Structure 1
Amino acid sequence: MDSELRANLQAAAQVLYHALYREPKLDFLRTLQGAGAARSWPDYAQNATQKQALVQLERALSQPTEALLAQLKPDFAALFIGPGPLKAIPWGSPYLHEKRLLCGPSTQALMQWYRHHGIEVNSDSNEPLDHIGLLLSVIALLVSDPGKDPVLTELLRDHLLPWSGRMLSLMQTQAQTDYYQAIAGLTQALLDTLSNALAITTPEVRLYA
């Protein structure tokens, strides 16, 4: 990966981290609208997934901010936080554990991996660290440094890619707004780009969610 691609991937990962991990807020949406995010989105994929996602993002961000926020709040809750069954569980463990547990063995393995590599991840409320948004924040940290490519490869291959495709597919089909459908597509395009650039073969695992 050249330096321009790394910078584009880092910028995109930072935005996607906020979009997936944080509840929607007026200030963030206004920042995206003011930056013309759909037209200025970092160019890292040039594939159908990204192009369709950017069309959806532009359509979403063309709405008045307050009206958009009113749509996004219930969609975010239904997808990621409840109440009720989540439409797109954002943590990895339920996909990888037969009882769909939070903080299962895969979460513990990720925490041990973070400790081994000296990576500190701060969550808002003691929640499991295998949240896709938090993983994107770590990707943003690692992707700018070519020397960290082996570490980034491990993170993607062993701790994210085995389940992220399922989560993002659920998000894209279950989201009720163009905005969250777009975020799912842009995240998938980013992960596909990283996987191709780092020549990662995703392990085939059984998924339970």
Structure 2
Amino acid sequence: MNEQPYFVEDETQSSAMLQNDEFIEAFAACADILGSCFLFHPVKEQAAQVFSVLAGMDIALDWPFGEERDRREAALLMREGQDEFPEKVSEEFTRLLRGPGIKPAPAWGSVYMDRDKVMYGRTWHMLRDWMREHGVTSLYEANDPEDQFGRLLMLCAQVARNRPDLLCELLGDHVLCWSGRFLTQFHEACETNTYRGLALLCRTTLRDVQGLLAVEPAVRRMYR
């Protein structure tokens, strides 16, 4: 498969959305929420508050992105998952996102897009070069590479608020090109309704935002 860069299919539509403060703040808030859930421990770290917010929200009605049927299914799954806290979701987080052992759905972009299926691979270097070129720094410092899925979503939130002119490029060249593959594998590997609902909500949100911004993601060869 020949790799191709991202492009914007409708510049007028995309530009209008990027100048829409309501859209920018809604997307940034959602990206922060979803990113925290994929990055931080659901009980011990700041994601605990985020999961609590989601539990108290009518996702089907109040979540601003995604198809209604997907929002309703995600809401149902996460509501059914309330009895999974704290033990089951903690175990799931360790099994899927952080902890020893081989992950059934690795949360790092280069594992999917690097020939050797490794962290800190070629596409991680591409992301780091892009951040350096545009003076973008991550507000969250940790041992996780910048292309860890949750960390990348939080970076999208930061860019949306501070450099919306760069958002389509970040999404198209560094997120949407692999997020679908990751979220599909992650959903299949989930053993809790909490994380199944989260994966579904994230997938439908990114699809909607992709359409609103008229972004056609970069085509990258997948090795996983």
TM-score normalised over the length of structure 2:
0.81
Whichever residue aligns with residue 43 of structure 2, its letter is K
Q: Which residue of 31, 44, 58 maps to 1:39?
A: 58
Shift of 1:125: 3.5
Q: 1:174 to 1:51 in 2, by over 3 A?
A: same
TM-score normalised over the length of structure 1:
0.87
Aligned mates of 1:188, 1:205 — CA distance in 2: 19
Whichever residue aligns with residue 175 of structure 1, its letter is C
Q: 1:125 to 1:35 in 2, by over 3 A?
A: closer
Is 1:97 the counterpart of 2:114? The answer is: yes
Shift of 1:36: 4.2
Aligned mates of 1:49, 1:99 — CA distance in 2: 34
Moved more, 80-89 or 34-43: 34-43
Quote the residue 1:118 is aligned against: 135
Q: 1:47 to 1:208 in 2, by over 3 A?
A: farther
Q: Comparing both chains, which one has the higher relative contact order based on Cα–Cα distances under 8 Å and sequence gaps of 6 or more? A: 2
Q: Structure 1, unaligned stretches of length 5 or more?
A: none
Is 1:7 the counterpart of 2:25? The answer is: yes
Contact 1:95/1:208 (8 A) holds in 2: yes
Aligned mates of 2:195, 2:55 — CA distance in 1: 17
Contact 1:162/1:203 (8 A) holds in 2: yes
Is 1:151 the counterpart of 2:166? The answer is: yes
Other structure's SS at 2:175 match: helix
Shift of 1:77: 1.4
Q: Percent sequence identity over matched residues? A: 25
Quote the residue 1:50 is aligned against: 71
Q: 1:169 to 1:37 in 2, by over 3 A?
A: farther
Is 1:18 the counterpart of 2:39? The answer is: no
Quote the residue 2:102 is aligned against: 85
Shift of 1:35: 6.5
Whichever residue aligns with residue 208 of structure 1, its letter is Y
Kindly report structure 1 stretches of 4+ aligned residues shifted beyond 3 Å.
26-38, 122-125
Shift of 1:76: 1.0
Quote the residue 2:188 is aligned against: 173
Alignment root-mean-square deviation, CA? 2.2
Shift of 1:124: 4.7
Shift of 1:81: 2.4
Quote the residue 2:125 is aligned against: 108
Is 1:202 the counterpart of 2:221? The answer is: no
Quote the residue 2:48 is aligned against: 29
Q: Structure 2, unaligned stretches of length 5 or more?
A: 1-16
Deviations 1:35-73 (A, max 9, x none): 644415532223333321122112223x3xxx5110011
Aligned mates of 1:84, 1:35 — CA distance in 2: 29
